[in-house]
Structure 1
Amino acid sequence: MNGSTLTSLEALDELTDEELGRFVFFLFRSPPEGFQKIPKAKVQNKTRETVADEMIEIYGEKDALEVTIEILKIMKRNHLANDIQERMQQKRLKPDPNAVSSKKQRLADSPSKTGQPGQELQSVISKLKTCLKEENNFIVEETAKDKNKIPLNKIYTDLIITKGESRTHNNEHEVLTSENSHCPYETSINFSDIFSRNEEGIRTVLTKGDAGIGKTVSVQKFIIDWAENKTNQDLIFMFVLPFRKLNLIKHVDYSLHELLILLHPQLKGCHSDLYVDKKVLFIFDGLEESRIQMNFNQTFIISDADTKSTVEALIINLITKALLPSALIWITSRPAAANQIPSQYIDCVTEIQGFNDSQKEQYFRKRVTDKDKANRIISHIRAARSLHIMCQIPIFCWISVTALQPWLTRKCKGESPTTLTEMYSHFLLVQINRKNEKFDKKHENNSMTLLESNKNMILKLAELAFKQLRKGNVLFYEEDLKMCGIDIEESFLHSGLCTEIFKMESEFYRIKTYCFVHLSFQEFFAALYVFHCYLCKNMEEIMFLPNTKEITLDVLMKHAVNEALKSKNGHLDLFLRFLHGMCLESNQRLLHGLLPHTMSSSESIEKIKQNLKRGQKRNINPERWLNLTQCLIEMKDYTLQQEIKTYLESKIKSKKLTLAQCSAMANMFQVSEEVIEELNLKKYNKTEEGCRRLIPALRNCKKAILANCNLTETSCENISSALQSANSPLRELDLSNNDLQDAGLKLIYKGLKCKLEILSVSNCNLTTVSCEDIAAALRLRTSSLKTLDLSYNDLQKGINQLFTGLKSPNCTLDTLRLSNCNVTVESCNYIAKALSPLRELDLSHNDLRDTGMKLLCDGLKSSCCNLNILKVSDCKLTEQSSPDVALLLSKENSSLRELDLSDNDIKDSGVKALSNGLSSSECVLEILRLSGCGLTKRTCYSLISALHLNSKHLIELDLDYNHLGPSERKQLSKIRKFFVYTLKTFSMNHNEKLRTNPGLKKYAFKLTLDPNTANTQLSLTGDNTRISVRSEHQQSQDHMGYQMQVLSKESLFGRCYWEVEWHRKASIAVAYKSFIKRGCKNNYVFGCSKKSWSLELSENDNRCAVVHNNKSISKSHPQGNRVGVFVDCSRGILSFYDICSDTQTLPIHTFRTNFRETLVAGFGLGHDEEASVSLIHS
């Protein structure tokens, strides 16, 4: 039995008897596209071995596996299918030369798809094209007096359509996503190319797009171009199945053929054979409107176009390829509804982004043929930034043209509309005036009279809009209208006004559905209804208000704001903008014919503005806060924008930003026409909540630094959303030193499908779990990640899984930092096998030991490995690793340019062995770091000898923290003569005898306790090296309040290490020297502010805790009563160690930060008479 049969048989063995029956069914009834059917008698009720052999005989070795994989995918056994694919790649299977070519067999057995259709077929196609052209050739608009149909080709403007999924939408308001996605688009495709012949395997395409973005119009244009024989002429048939029509027949059973005849009567009298073997496209438009419950897990298989079933089953079987597997499928959907189709059935996702700036201009010039008027519209829209952004949505361009007509024709005096509320109010007035002129044959210049004459119906529509908006409905039925007192036979609904604002969406199968032509109209009318109810004191109709009639306008708006802030997807954001806009008396005068009266209270208006600026609530999505700044713009209050502009222009930014200012700044950055080069939140004086408010600005910057911002899992949702915003320009993101945890990184992972190139999540409390998500991200075809920093996370064995991601051919990573990630010798096995894509690898502060280093070097010696930078400082290496490293330096075409061996006890003998590599002509090393390696004067001779032989590349040599001796140091200094043109940095500082001590003890630092900082209840003994509790009090000007704590007399500098012995309950800390100089009592407690870091210990607990900035992390308790502390002031490292014995230390925790002030050591005791801490001086 050959390898292919074995693999196919192994797959069949994994199937249950029922699943095997389904598998066989596909073989004889509906095999994958292009493969011939196997005779039923040869495979039905046969053993698994027989089925596998028959597949080999019919298809050949390789194609048998392809068929197996395809059928398994249809059956949703994806894991099994992927397993076979991996085995194929491993075995590199080739087609069986003796087997019949399945491609030839397919051509022989299948009907021609490229030849000329027969006469009968041609007649049906011609009729279908004529009908589709008639149905889609016009856009119905009441924008002219003498006709209501505009040829689509006359006004159609190309849209930006991108391939791939650019963002998540479930937490965003559809209309307002345009404000978050206006960055320049790097790649776009033509909609007519979505089924491009150049891309094999694309059968099912899902096109996403927000409301009003142009999905249906794009479908219309696609259909017209096919019907007019312009594009996609390889398609024989095109069948359009809008979900709004399918909704109305969902309870009736049809065969596919019967359903197509119902929707396309041109097929009447034809048999299904006419199209089943042809290249056919099914278009399912408007998935978000579907009221059909599609359950892909519990649907019977239908493979015949003449088999009756439910509409749901027909749709599912078409999408899953069980029915007409060769047919193409095009589905359009609003983003929030797109997940109704499981991703495994989608071959390609496209997204309609709307208009770019030039396309907006093109649209306006097509709609307004008068060049001067078009120029005036374009200039006005550009000047109003919020309107300009909204015009990315095509339907808003249409609204703008309509609303601005009175100013273009000089029929309207005063300022032209600059806010959304003004624009929509004027649009309403224009439409009512047109309705009067066209249907009532009257012309009325008075806006109040115009509105009063249509007041009753408009307010009924407003009531419908509000009540359905609260329910989240965008499609309404006859009963919904009746509940609001709307008679569907009323002439008003058919007068022309409602076709532009509220229209009958469908009258298919005798059931009528209705909707506002765009979601924004529904929100405008909903706001109008609420404001009208308030003026009429009809409060019981407004569901989010307390039961009282007597409330002021500012209280109403405060309740509305609170209600909108509760929304996770922002479905009330635009409604809230319109409602605030209506508070202005100028807008009330525009709508005066609908409102009982106008009201103007400067006191209320000021309170409303202050409430918007205050925004003190926490744990609210920052996107919601951004919307509040837009509400201020609707009220024509630009003070926040001016304050931020002044703040950004000032050189000193010490003033603390308010939360409202943070939201305004985020909004300003986000809507800026220019991409922000760098967003560094450290530059701004803000609170933690203020930091969260600034996150949305990530949508429009290239580099974002959010390190040390106290971000949590909740913040990651907003970061992920920003990463996935359309054409995000973000290329570098630093999230270091935030408590994101695995759940937070999982959210970030969703955003890694963008073009992010550099990601730092060091010290984010990640574990093994996160490595699965990161590995998956590295395997993505869309991944652009080049640099990844995971340092200071306890990844442990997750490293093994991480490096499986590096093996993927899709992996673009070239820099990986895993410093202090608990990498072990075992992990080095996995690392060594996946080094080929890397150019930089940092494994510092891990317990690799010589065994692990040997494994790494063996991997690095491979000819396919071209690592440039290797950092293995503090990895418990000895002189035994040096020969392996030397061979690495001297290998043919060595690429290593930077090597960091600091803080390893490689000693003089290790450097001597290393010199063999340094002296090689193949060595191209430019940077060599050997600080803290226990070196003595003997090392100098080895280095001098090696560097004399090969000195042309080295530019930096670090020998700090060694004991080289004065004369030897002079000799080394002299070799700089030989590096006149290369060596730029040569360091030999801190050369004391103690530097030859093993491990951390080479950095031993002698401390004493400062009595002037001791609490009065502490007793200092042993030459101020021990503290304990005592009853007497001593006075001190700087004593630490009520905390039993003390600071060291000596300040810390460079690298320092000390050990202490503690009993009962103690705090071992490091703090800024200014620790006790300011603040309340809590600031005096170690770990409770940004000025100190503490290890909290108690003999009564089985866990200890590390604390900083009042945030505690639980850790395993030390085994004994000795702990060590290491500080590297320049590199911002603070580590606590469990001293198990004189030769064994275990890490407890490491803090990474930037120390901005002078440091001192700190010690504290709990309220226990037997508690004590003693400094250990070896």
Structure 2
Amino acid sequence: MANCFPTGSAAVPDTAHYAGTQRDVGTTTVCAQNGSVVNSPHFNDVHAARDANLTVTVNNTYVQSFARTDETNGCSPNLQGNIQRCQTELKDYLQNKTEDLFQGTKEDGSSILLDQIYTELYITEGGSGQVNSEHEVIELECTKCTGEERKIHLNDIFEALSKEGNPPRRVLTKGIAGIGKTVAVQKFTHDWAKGRVNQKFQCIFPFTFRDLNLIKDKLNLMELICHYYEEATDLETSDYKNSRILFIFDGLDESQLPLEFENNEMCRSLTKKTSVDAILTNLIEGNLLHKASIWITSRPAAASKIPPKFINRVTEVRGFNDEQKDEYFKKKISDRDIAQRIFDHLQSKPLRSLYIMCHIPVFCWISATVLQDLLTHTPETELPKSVTEMYTHFLIIQTKRKHEKDYQDGDKDKDVIMKLGKLAFEQLQKGNIIFCDTDLKDCNIDLKQAAIYSGVCTEIIRKEYGLHRQVSYSFIHLSVQEFLAALYVLENFVICGKNLLAGQRSIKVASEKGEIPIILLHKSAVDKALATKHGQWDLFLRFLLGLSLDTNQKLLQKLVGFEGRHLKNSQETIEYINKMIKKLTFYEKSIYLFHCLNELGDKSLVEQVQKYHSSGDVNKISPAHWSALAYVLLVSNENLDIFDLKKFSTADEVLERMMPLLKVSKTALLGDCNLTDRCCSCISSVLSLKASGLEELDLSKNKLQDYGMELLSAGLKSPNCQLQKLSLRDCNINKEGCWSLASALVSNPSHLRELDLSQNKIHLLDSPSSEHITPPLKEGLKPVHPVLDPHKNNVYNDALKASLFVDDDQELDPLSEVLKKCSLETLRLCGCGITEKPLKCLVSALSSNPSHLKNLDLSRNSFGSQSFSLLLDFLKHPDCQLQTLCLFKANLKLEDAAALASALKLSHLRELDLGGNVLGDAGVIEIAALLKDPNCKVATLRLAGCRFTESGCAALASSLKSNPAHLRVLDLTRNFFKDAGVENLSDFLAEPLCQLKTLNLQMCSLTTACCRILSLALSCCSALKELDLSYNQLMDEGVKLLCGWLQKPQCKLEILRLSCCTESSCEALASALTSNPSHLRELELSKMITKESHLKLRSDLQINPQYKVTVIEG
């Protein structure tokens, strides 16, 4: 971040003259060349990377609404005049202060107009108040963009988004160091000052937390404003109260103020003297100038300093997307050929890690600076392939500025760099990114002298003036500080024999051959990085390992003056890292360790795994090395939206090691993969991620059991969980698991649209045992706490029952509250043991929230006619939007069919499955009456195994003929209508309006006799794509009759299923299909008479290169 606004002094709070004189004295310079490369919370003379085309994420968390009013209404002319004068002068001043971006330092005069190089910020909906669990750069490398998000322009962050009644008053903008937060503030302020946008604000007052840290005296809000902005000197209390004011506070992560929202005294007076901390907390809470708007910027780790209840909207600056990276390099580098070569170099597969890091504008700037210099001045030099190489060249380029400017000799470049390295390391240990004069003196740094004799200081460390003309310092980016710290630690180990990471004062570091056993330092660094919870030392370790390579050592020796030395072979370090990869149980760290191997130039394991993956022979990969494949895929160009575990291997350990891929996927297909409850905790952690993009999760046919559901539910209830589809079919879930799931879904009901719990014995009416009454369950279902005793099951159930239902006579059902509160569109409860009473509770819940559910599967459950009538009442509900109803093997009888047909007359139903119910002819006749109704729009009808004959088939065909245009799928498998039934169906098939695409007549006792009329009818049905006639006695003659239809051009069939074909039948099929080869893609022949017939048919069809059919022997 940089400071482009004035600073004053708090020493003389009542002297406006002092504030004015200090304004120009206190301006400062912060370097951020060519791309939002600003890391300081100061506003003086912003230096940011040009072309600050960034990505920002916004999350709306409205806590309090404010009426939009014209605050100036009712103001006296005198007050209006004060405000107008202040606004005019303030705009002139801010316009002047924000019009330039500096590329380099202010002393170099390398500025460019903001409007000339700035492109529109990219802002999307998302973001949260969570703290990063990893190093900011490493977290970016291990993730990919998660699809399309709602976009919003930077200048609209204080506008109401769609469906929101009022605009936010308090906005928090997050973003990692160097991502462009301060440039966003500068652009926003500049556009307001130019009169372009946001003119609803009459005054904008930007501040930095870095300056506010230095104010120790008590003062009031008006005095605080005037010390920075003399334009506000004439404003009175009434002016502030009647104006729409925006306060900007940049750099919350650099705040040393306690921000004690709970303990600070309330302050509502603009003239009451108090601490700066109290002024800020009262402004943010809305006690002081409650109509004012507040904008705060922060790195993610510090965002939690502001309680979420005081923030109306959270936005996140996300950096460059891929298109903006390309645009950046083309704008930064005027030579298009060089710009394209740089972009191509970074996009090459081995360097995807560098390309991903270019999401950060500061890294774009460093990469562009380095690669342009190398391609222009030393085109024969091999371009950097790792992060360490890039930063090493960057350091060398900065040191060369001394020689270009022909300054007098002072400290050697190496000495200056080591002093900066000591500062970097000591402050990194303390967690500091801001330093003062004392810190520099402790490291023997005279910045004024160093700035003259070394270009390093002018580009790598910067100073900024705060209040009282005090100076603070920071490196241009945290990664630069980490690089210099690593260089300092390495040099101390090599030259002085000190392992600063292990606390050892002195050790012997040279062998008899003069080699230095660098493994001692590397082990300490690896262990330190793995031991830290939030990855504070991760990038430091990568730099340390990379700097140990001979290539980088030679560069530093040749160009910067470091001493020549030979470090012992790094193979020991590589072996140690591989050992740690195998041992790690937290597999996210293993991905990071592969980045470390890359810095050491070791790609042996990665290349081996890559070879297996490319050949499809993934079974040769050992479980311990699945992490290597995850790394390979993460840095590849492959689309990782769909993660299918079966493509790799099926086991808990494999999934755990591939977990980084799950983090970046939208769809996770984990069904039937031999998973157990062991993996559920990892999956839950992915669902809880603040940037989780997982929308579909299939865990079907895994033995997760109730404990697995309890673990998984922790992720499902997270506000970050965006899951829309969840399949838990056949996961051995019982009543306790169902209650855990219900608790999670009730607490986070907004996203899930599809839920499959089929083939689990969930016992809907059973209560959970006391040992499974978990806090999530209590929170999700909100029991009555005053009487709740988790150790007394009956008391708990009574309280919970009261929370679920108004009627005490109703049964307790964990899914009922889910259905009431969620917006489920698809619910599958096939084979869940639902009987009469559970169905009653289920229907009651559905009726209370009828407008969302589109698809309901209650197949393979047995409920009586009385409870089934309740389901029909739901179908009759005027708000019922059900489109698919599956009641396969639901023990339905004739009377149920009649009632169902009556209930569906005015429904939206498009798919009906009544297969497996003994409806008989009478039942099918009732259904046929429904199909005859012109209002019926059923497109899929399944009546498999309903045991009807030609009588029922005749009624069905008659109804379909009278209303032929809607049906697309007709499944009549395992019925007894024989050839006569097909003859009746032929009238429907021959209808010009018939659009049937799938016809299933498997096992319907058909013979040769039906084939001629069926063939004729199908000749008129050009829409048919799939036909199943298997397990019927068609014989050779019947197949040959069908072949007459198959060879016609109007036949568009794609899938054909037959059985009992002889060699003669196969020859006829081959002949017919060869003459009309363009459509059929699948031919399934079950119960072949001889295997030779099958092979002969396959051979005959393969002769024609146009034919692409797959022959399947069923």
Alignment of 1:681 onto 2:648:
no
Map of 1:979-994 to 2, 5 A cutoff?
980=989, 982=996, 984-988=999-1003
Counterpart mapping for 1:1058-1069 below 5 A: none
Q: SS of 2:473's equivalent?
A: strand
Letter of the structure 2 residue corresponding to residue 432 of structure 1: T
Return the alpha-carbon distance in structure 1 between the equivalents of residues 379 and 71 of structure 2. Answer: 72
- Alpha-carbon distance between aligned partners in 2 of 1:438 and 1:168, rounded to the nearest angstrom: 47
2:901: which partner in 1?
Answer: 886
Query: Equivalents in 2 of 1:487, 1:145: separation in Å?
Result: 18
* Cα separation, partners in 2 of 1:561 and 1:541, compared to 1, 3 Å: closer
Displacement after TM superposition at 1:345 (Å): 2.8
Which of 846, 849, 869 aligns to 1:854? It is: 869
Q: Judging changes above 3 Å, is the alpha-carbon distance between structure 1 residues 125 and 869 closer, same or farther for their aligned structure 2 residues?
A: same
Equivalent residues of 1:581, 1:587 under 8 A apart: yes
Q: Return the alpha-carbon distance in structure 2 between the equivalents of residues 990 and 802 of structure 1.
A: 46
TM-score, structure 1 normalization: 0.65
Provide the residue aligned with 1:476 in structure 2. 435
Aligned residues: 859
Aligned to 2:790: none
1:321-360 matches, within 5 Å, as: 321-360=286-325
1:839 counterpart = 2:849: no
> Which residue type is aligned with residue 913 of structure 2?
L
Hey, what does 2:1048 align to over in structure 1? none
In structure 2, the partner of 1:865 is 880
Flag the 1:790–1:567 CA change in 2: closer, same or farther, 3 A.
farther
**Match 1:668 to one of 595, 613, 632:** 632
**Secondary structure of residue in 2 paired with 1:654:** helix
CA–CA distance in 1 between the matches of 2:259 and 2:290? 19
1:654 aligns with 2:625: no
Answer yes or no: is the 8 Å Cα contact 2:401–2:454 preserved in 1: no
2:552 corresponds to which of 580, 587, 590 = 587
Q: Which amino acid aligns with 2:829?
A: L
* Aligned residue in 2 for 1:110: 73
2:619 corresponds to which letter in structure 1? S
1:212 aligns with 2:178: yes
Instruction: Indicate how the Cα distance of structure 1 residues 922 and 137 shifts in structure 2: closer, same or farther if over 3 A, else same.
Output: closer
1:213–1:508 distance in 2 versus 1, CA, 3 Å: same
Q: Give the letter aligned to residue 840 of structure 1.
A: N
The CA deviation at 1:213 is 0.7
Against the structure 1 CA distance between its residues 969 and 652, is the aligned structure 2 distance closer, same or farther, given a 3 Å change threshold?
A: farther
Structure 1 residues 470, 543: CA separation in 2 closer, same or farther (over 3 Å shift)? Answer: farther
Q: Which AA in structure 1 matches 2:658?
A: L
Which whole-Å deviations, capped at 9, do the CAs of 1:455-494 have from their partners, x for residues lacking one? 3342233233234334433333455555555567764599
**How large is the RMSD of aligned CA atoms in angstroms?**
4.1
1:716 maps to which of 683, 688, 708 = 683
Q: Deviations for 1:394-431, whole angstroms, at most 9, x for unmatched residues?
A: 11122123323542442575223232111111111111
Distance 1:269 1:844, change over 3 A: same
Q: CA deviation at 1:757?
A: 4.7
Verify: 1:692 aligned to 2:656, yes or no. Answer: yes
Q: Equivalent residue for 1:403?
A: 370
Give the alignment of 1:503-652 within 5 angstroms: 503-509=462-468, 512-536=471-495, 538-543=497-502, 552-592=517-557, 593=560, 595-601=562-568, 604-617=569-582, 620-652=585-617
Q: Secondary structure at the match of 1:248?
A: coil
Q: How does 1:719-738 map to 2 (within 5 A)?
A: 719-720=686-687, 724=691, 728=693, 731-736=695-700, 737=702
The letter for the 1-side match of 2:644 is N
Structure 1 residues 698-1097: aligned runs within 5 Å: 698=662, 700-707=664-671, 708=673, 709-710=675-676, 712-716=679-683, 718-720=685-687, 724=691, 728=693, 731-736=695-700, 737=702, 739=704, 740-750=708-718, 754=722, 757-762=724-729, 765=733, 766-779=737-750, 783=751, 785-791=752-758, 794=762, 796=764, 797-806=813-822, 811=823, 813-819=824-830, 824=838, 825-844=840-859, 849-873=864-888, 881-889=896-904, 891-892=905-906, 894-900=908-914, 902=916, 917=930, 922-928=935-941, 941-942=951-952, 945-950=955-960, 952=964, 953=967, 955-957=969-971, 977=986, 980=989, 982=996, 984-988=999-1003
Which structure shows the bigger proportion of residues in strand conformation? Answer: 1
Distance across 2 between alignment mates of 1:107 and 1:156: 32
Q: Shift of the alpha carbon at 1:829?
A: 0.3
Aligned partners of 1:840 and 1:868 also within 8 Å = yes
Structure 1 residue aligned with 2:357: 390
Unaligned runs of 5+ in 1: 1-72, 86-101, 443-449, 992-1178
Residues 874 and 325 of structure 1: CA distance in aligned 2, closer, same or farther (over 3 Å): farther
Distance 1:285 1:566, change over 3 A: same
Q: 1:184 to 1:433 in 2, by over 3 A?
A: farther
Amino acid at match of 2:715: L
Equivalent residue, structure 2, for 1:1127: none
Deviates more, 1:317-326 or 1:514-523: 317-326
2:133 paired residue among 151, 156, 171: 171
Q: Is the partner of 1:624 in helix, strand or coil?
A: helix
Q: In structure 2, which of residues 250, 271, 274 is the aligned counterpart of residue 309 of structure 1?
A: 274
Residue pair 2:220, 2:274 contacting (<8 A) in 1 also: yes
Provide the residue aligned with 1:225 in structure 2.
191
Shift of 1:281: 0.8
**Aligned residue for 1:236?**
202
State the Cα deviation string for residues 187-215 of structure 1 (Å, max 9, x = none). Answer: 53331222237773222222221111100
Return the offset for 1:223. 1.5
Do the aligned partners of residues 900 and 292 (structure 1) sit closer, same or farther apart at CA in structure 2, a change above 3 Å counting? Answer: farther
Q: Secondary structure at the match of 1:349?
A: strand
Q: In 1, distance between residues paired with 2:720 and 2:726?
A: 9
One-letter identity of the residue aligned with 2:687: S
Equivalent position amino acid for 1:860 in 2: L
Partner of 2:1054: none
Quickly say closer, same or farther: Cα 1:305–1:645, change in 2 above 3 A.
Answer: same
Change (3 A) 1:536 1:896: same
Shift of 1:580: 2.0
Q: Is the 8 A contact 2:847 2:877 kept in 1?
A: no
1:194 pairs with 2:187: no
Q: How far apart, in 2, do the equivalents of 1:990 and 1:295 lie? A: 82
Are the counterparts in 2 of residues 749 and 774 from structure 1 also a CA contact under 8 Å? yes
Match of 2:387 in 1: 420
Name the structure, 1 or 2, with higher relative contact order (CA <8 Å, separation 6+).
Answer: 2
Partner of 2:1090: none
Residue 1122 of structure 1 is matched in structure 2 by none
SS at match of 2:389: helix
- Shift in alpha-carbon separation, 1:676–1:878, aligned structure 2, 3 A: same
- Secondary structure of the corresponding residue to residue 835 of structure 1: coil
> Which amino acid in the other structure matches residue 104 of structure 2?
E
- Once the 2 structures are TM-superposed, how far is the Cα of residue 540 of structure 1 from its aligned partner? 4.6
Amino acid across the alignment from 1:191:
L
Kept in 2, the 8 Å contact 1:145–1:434? The answer is: no
Taking the aligned partners of 1:355 and 1:624, their CA distance within structure 2 comes to 25
Following TM superposition, by how much is the alpha carbon of 1:260 offset from its aligned partner in structure 2, in angstroms?
1.6
Per mean C-alpha deviation after superposition, the further-off stretch among 177-186 and 311-320 is: 177-186
1:432-511 matches, cutoff 5 A: 432-438=399-405, 440-441=407-408, 453-478=412-437, 480-481=439-440, 484=443, 486=445, 491=450, 497-509=456-468
Structure 2 length as normaliser, TM-score? Answer: 0.69
Q: CA deviation at 1:186?
A: 5.3
Unaligned runs of 5+ in 2: 1-60, 510-515, 765-812, 1007-1114
Q: Is the 8 A contact 1:287 1:337 kept in 2?
A: yes
AA partner of residue 153 (structure 2): N
- Percent identity over the alignment? 34
